[in-house]
Amino acid sequence: MMDFAAARRMMVDGQVRTSDVNDPRIIAAMLEVPRERFVPQPKAALAYADLDIPVSEAKSPALVRRLLKPMVLAKLVQAADIGKGERVLDVGCASGYSSAVLARLAGSVIALEEHSELAQAAAENLKALEAANVTVVSGPLIAGWPATAPYDVVLLNGATEIAPKALLAQLKPGGRLLGIFGRAPGGKAMLYRAIGTDVSGRPIFDAAAPLLPGFVAPPAFVF
C-alpha cells in the first residue's frame, strides 16, 4: 500500500520548496491536506506527481478537468499573499483540493465549480476535512460569484485566453487576481491588482495549465 504521508512530504520537499515557495503557512497546508482524497481512486498513486491530474471524464481530452500541478498552485497562492481574515474566490475548484489549501490561509473561501459532479465531490471532500470556512457554489466559472463579492483574492485554477472582466470586477480595492494566461505549452502566471477603478497586471513566472471552460478565446476570423 502506498505511503501517502511520505509521498506528501516528497511533493513538498521536491516540488514546492525547490520552487522558492517558502511561506510556512503554505508548506504546512500542503503537508496537511491529503491530496489523494481529491483524485479518482484509480489515480490515487498519481496524487503527488508533478502533473495536472485528471479528475473528470470527457469525450474530448481538452474538456477533462484537472488539479493544477502542486508547484504551480503553491506559487500562485504564495504570490496572492493571503491574510488570515481575507475572503477568497476559488474559481474552478474541481474536487476541492485548492479550496482545502486556501481554507488554512484565508478567513473564508467561496469554492466555485460549474461541473455538477465535481461540485458535489468538492462539498463532500471539504466536509470530511472539516473545512467549515469554505462554501461550495455551482455556476459558470467565467461569471464568478457576484452574490458574495467583493473578494480580497480571486484564484483561477487553470488557464485563460481572455481577460476575465467579470472576475476582475469582483475584486475589492487592493484585491488580487491570479491565474495562468495563455494556452499550453506556453503561458505566464499573472498577478492582477485592483487600484481604485483600474487594474494593473504583471507576469510573475512562466507556467502552463489546462484551459478552464468558458475562458477560451473565440476563433479569429481569417480572410
Quick check: pTM over 0.75? yes
Burial grade of 90 (CB within 10 A; 0-12, 13-18, 19 or more): buried
DSSP letter for 94, please: T
> Residue 59: is its pLDDT beyond 80?
no
Name the one residue in this structure whose C-alpha cell is 498577478: 191
Domains in the chain (CATH in brackets) are 4-206 (3.40.50.150)
Task: Provide long-range contacts, Cβ within 8 A and 24+ apart, for 3-7.
Answer: 4/34, 4/36, 4/44, 4/47, 4/48, 7/36, 7/47, 7/48
Q: How confident is the model at residue 61 (pLDDT cuts 50, 70, 90)?
A: low
The pLDDT value given to residue 57 = 79
Cβ–Cβ < 8 Å for 88, 29:
no
Report the amino acid identity of residue 127. Answer: K
Q: How confident is the model at residue 25 (pLDDT cuts 50, 70, 90)?
A: very high
Give the mean pLDDT of 13-24.
Answer: 97
Q: Which three cell numbers stand for residue 150?
A: 467583493
Give the mean pLDDT of 59-83.
Answer: 89
The pLDDT value given to residue 184 = 78
The three-class DSSP label of residue 110 is strand
Give the mean pLDDT of 176-205.
Answer: 92
Q: What percent of the chain is modeled with pLDDT above 90?
A: 88
3-state secondary structure 148-204: HCCEEEEEEEEEECCCCHHHHCCEEEEEEEEEEECCCCCCEEEEEEEECCEEEEEEE
Give the mean pLDDT of 124-152.
Answer: 98
Which of 1, 45, 9 minimizes the C-alpha distance to 17? 9
> Residue 62: is its pLDDT beyond 60?
no
Cβ–Cβ < 8 Å for 87, 32:
no
> Residue 162: is its pLDDT beyond 80?
yes
The pLDDT value given to residue 64 = 85
In 10 A of CB 23, how many CB atoms? 16
The pLDDT value given to residue 1 = 74
> Residue 40: is its pLDDT beyond 80?
yes
Q: How confident is the model at residue 58 (pLDDT cuts 50, 70, 90)?
A: low
